[in-house]
Amino acid sequence: MKIYYSILRLFLKKTFSFWQALGFHITPNQLYEPIPDLKFKDEYERFPRFKTSILYQYYVNNGSFELVDGEVLYCIIRYFKPRNV
């Protein structure tokens, strides 16, 4: 698998200008890239954007603990699975 990624990385580096000329900006999907991984998009879309009728439910446009903060907290909770939040 490591050889596959090495070859792929070399291919993308050599063909970057070609893809750029066609209007594509190819970047690897990895931890260090600032572009989010779209495989989690549906999960993140479940966060309501605005306040709902459910008391104390998190919503994205809350004015203080917004999208990235909420996503980071959500990921921390999912990872550590505390008994109480």
pLDDT digits (tens, 9 = 90+) for 39-64: 888 988 888 999 999 999 989 999 98
**Cβ atoms 61, 52 nearer than 8 A:** no
Neighbouring C-alpha atoms within 13 Å toward the C-beta of 18: 5
pLDDT for residue 72: 87
**Cβ atoms 12, 28 nearer than 8 A:** yes
The single-letter DSSP state of residue 40 is: G
pLDDT digits (tens, 9 = 90+) for 1-47: 789 888 988 998 899 999 999 999 888 777 777 777 788 889 888 88
Q: Which helix (H) or strand (E) holds 6?
A: helix 2-21
pLDDT for residue 16: 92
